[in-house]
Chains A and B, each alone.
Chain A
């Protein structure tokens, strides 16, 4: 609680005590009025002052002014008619309780989410000339500096470990609770907690460009990308108050005038009372606060699960997802291949592997890595030059004067070489030397442990279609798709084909309200990520292009997080819709009842304050949305 909240709470308590005490005191006339006006001023003086300022600044629809008119009007009516001042004071009292609660709840969830996101340390340890550790502002640490991270501290800046062994807790970043071992040569990302050993780290980024700072920036910016619901509420709020206020004025004047014309009793007091109930309900607070709060809490819950949603608008689109398109390699499968078979024509197996490994020396493609892994001491005295990568085909290089081509069937066809098919399922890497076919190597990729559970969970959530796009051959792709239970596969795609496939799928959507999500690992698929309704990049920490292009960033590479992300977005949106219908519904109901004379000021207070409190409590549920566990999906 801050100072202002404490003061207001004291005022609320004092006023409540006085009101209860006044219940037991018999008083009449002006004495009664004086007794009751004291708690009114205690609880309402700041509203009255703000109301005067509102008049001075020509803000006719200022909520303080409306509240002041409503309560002063009720007091005037009481003085003139019944002597029942309780209603007016209760309106003010409950209004203040509602305001206090709002401010407390918002402050609390703001703090909870800030704690959740407290991942960027505000200092870095550096050694000075005397070998002593010194705390410096991380902003001043240049790239390539050496920083020291002590046990228990958070890593402030991304870097590479120079000295020391330790385990890191990356839960705040990835949602993954299993600690990770690091040793010299490993890359570590800022925001993770060093659990036990002292680490010396050479920084590879500036503080502002480091993972932790980037994540914080993403989360803070997320609120400014507004969803359709929030835009609707803003528009609604803008017209709601004026309409209700004009309706109140009409209600106070028209019926009595009509009644007078019709020669019956005008009942000015009664109609004025009904008009005043309108003013109490005229603030759209419940909606204006609870909708952004729901999204804010939902974004917070998602990031606790290691899912960064870049804006409330994406949260909304994510919840409307009906089709999920996956990239295969690195998304559904581990992306690490291993050699499963070698079928040479003339050479022996080792020689074939040897040549292929040489050609792939400089490539970072997963297939290249698997070949290098299968032939560990690749750096020998062979002479390799003119390495050339042909996108979607393979790699060509000159080894000891011979032109060696390593790639897929398409590459062989381009070269006019007769290649042989293979009975093995997997990716076939053909090798040709000087235009002669020399055989092939089969490498295969295995699905990630949670891929199958992820597809199942998505199906259970009502995702209509799951589609896999891949550059792999049909045979390989079909095997993986069948194993994971995907609905459709598009194989043999070049990187640019993926965009056109996604465009075809987008064109074939059944309605505008359903969304298509594309999930990729952020390598080479930035154009597809930005083309889909929702681009989800996984394990993309550190790849700026992917973070830029994606709308949702999964901090680790667990495909089950896709199901979690959609689950969180659906729950969040359901809570948002509940709040919209509930708040507008109750308000309209009480307005109608008030106009007909069935609703007292008490009902009006409930429609204003009670609804706001309930909507806020409901919104806060977004913060505690739990993820399903992959093991429980059956």
Chain B
């Protein structure tokens, strides 16, 4: 399953760090961040609950970039 989320982040380097962090979260098959469009595209593993996974994605992204926001739910 693929979903696109709106995000908020200040700098391009931070967006790249978010992408790295999101890709390491369990349940995420592949994630890509488009800084210019402020969107995060996430492809989930089969049988996971996207919102549960996204909570972890946000938590891990906050670790690399405290200022970031991902709009899910």
Q: Which A residues fall within an 8 A CB radius of B? A: 50, 53, 57, 59, 62-63, 99, 102-103, 106, 110, 220, 223-224, 234, 237, 283-285, 288-289, 292-293, 296
Q: Does B10 contact A223, Cβ atoms closer than 8 Å?
A: no
| Chain B proximity of A236: nearest CB distance (Å) | 11
Asked if B41 is at the interface of the complex by the 8 Å CB criterion, the answer is yes
Number of A-B contacts (CB under 8 A): 53
Among B10, B13, B37, B63, point to the contact of A103 (Cβ < 8 A): B10
Q: A57-B64, A289-B12 are in contact. List 12 more A-B contacts (CB 8 A).
A: A57-B66, A99-B11, A103-B10, A220-B37, A223-B37, A224-B32, A237-B13, A284-B13, A285-B11, A288-B12, A288-B13, A292-B35
- CB neighbours of B32 from chain A (8 A): 224
How far is B48's CA from A431's CA once the two chains are assembled, in angstroms?
64
Interface residues of B in 1-25 (CB under 8 A from A): 10-13, 16
Among B11, B37, B63, point to the contact of A59 (Cβ < 8 A): B63
| Chain B proximity of A62: nearest CB distance (Å) | 8
- CB neighbours of A224 from chain B (8 A): 32, 34, 41
| Chain B proximity of A471: nearest CB distance (Å) | 40
| Chain A proximity of B44: nearest CB distance (Å) | 16
Among B13, B37, B41, point to the contact of A63 (Cβ < 8 A): B13
Q: Does B63 contact A288, Cβ atoms closer than 8 Å?
A: no
Q: Does B63 contact A102, Cβ atoms closer than 8 Å?
A: no
Among B11, B39, B63, point to the contact of A220 (Cβ < 8 A): B39
Q: Does B38 contact A237, Cβ atoms closer than 8 Å?
A: no
- CB neighbours of A59 from chain B (8 A): 63-64
- CB neighbours of B67 from chain A (8 A): 50
Given contacts A50-B66, A53-B66, A224-B41, contact A285 B12 (CB under 8 A): yes
- CB neighbours of A103 from chain B (8 A): 10-11
Q: Does B16 contact A237, Cβ atoms closer than 8 Å?
A: yes
Among B13, B38, B64, point to the contact of A110 (Cβ < 8 A): B38
Given contacts A220-B39, A223-B34, contact A289 B11 (CB under 8 A): yes
| Chain B proximity of A632: nearest CB distance (Å) | 32
How far is B14's CA from A102's CA once the two chains are assembled, in angstroms?
13
Among A53, A99, A223, A234, point to the contact of B16 (Cβ < 8 A): A234
How far is B63's CA from A296's CA once the two chains are assembled, in angstroms?
28
- CB neighbours of B64 from chain A (8 A): 57, 59, 62
- CB neighbours of A220 from chain B (8 A): 34, 37, 39
How far is B11's CA from A551's CA once the two chains are assembled, in angstroms?
29
- CB neighbours of B36 from chain A (8 A): 106, 110, 223, 292-293, 296
What 0/1 pattern do residues 27 to 70 of B give for CB contact below 8 A with A? 00000101111110100000000000000000000011011000
Q: Does A57 contact B63, Cβ atoms closer than 8 Å?
A: yes
- CB neighbours of A292 from chain B (8 A): 12, 35-36
How far is B19's CA from A341's CA once the two chains are assembled, in angstroms?
65
- CB neighbours of B39 from chain A (8 A): 220
How far is B16's CA from A223's CA once the two chains are assembled, in angstroms?
13
How far is B36's CA from A224's CA once the two chains are assembled, in angstroms?
10
Which residue from chain A places its CB closest to the CB of B35 in the assembled complex? A292
Q: List 16 A-B contacts (CB under 8 A).
A: A50-B66, A62-B64, A63-B13, A99-B11, A103-B11, A106-B12, A220-B37, A224-B34, A237-B13, A284-B13, A288-B11, A288-B12, A289-B12, A293-B12, A293-B36, A296-B37
How far is B65's CA from A59's CA once the two chains are assembled, in angstroms?
10
How far is B59's CA from A57's CA once the two chains are assembled, in angstroms?
11
- CB neighbours of A288 from chain B (8 A): 11-13, 16
Which residue from chain B places its CB closest to the CB of A290 in the assembled complex? B12
Nearest 4 A/B pairs, CB to CB: A296-B36, A289-B12, A223-B34, A57-B63
How far is B16's CA from A63's CA once the two chains are assembled, in angstroms?
13
- CB neighbours of B11 from chain A (8 A): 99, 102-103, 285, 288-289
How far is B67's CA from A50's CA once the two chains are assembled, in angstroms?
9
How far is B67's CA from A53's CA once the two chains are assembled, in angstroms?
11
Given contacts A106-B36, A110-B36, A296-B36, contact A283 B13 (CB under 8 A): yes
How far is B36's CA from A63's CA once the two chains are assembled, in angstroms?
20
- Pick the most buried of B11, B12, B41: most chain A CB atoms within 10 A of its CB: B12
- Pick the most buried of B10, B11, B32, B63: most chain A CB atoms within 10 A of its CB: B11
Which residue from chain A places its CB closest to the CB of B20 in the assembled complex? A238
| Chain A proximity of B23: nearest CB distance (Å) | 12
How far is B39's CA from A285's CA once the two chains are assembled, in angstroms?
20
Which residue from chain A places its CB closest to the CB of B66 in the assembled complex? A53
Q: Does B10 contact A99, Cβ atoms closer than 8 Å?
A: yes
Which residue from chain B places its CB closest to the CB of A102 in the assembled complex? B11
Which residue from chain B places its CB closest to the CB of A5 in the assembled complex? B10
- CB neighbours of A62 from chain B (8 A): 64
| Chain A proximity of B22: nearest CB distance (Å) | 13
How far is B35's CA from A528's CA once the two chains are assembled, in angstroms?
33
How far is B67's CA from A103's CA once the two chains are assembled, in angstroms?
14
Q: Does A285 contact B34, Cβ atoms closer than 8 Å?
A: no
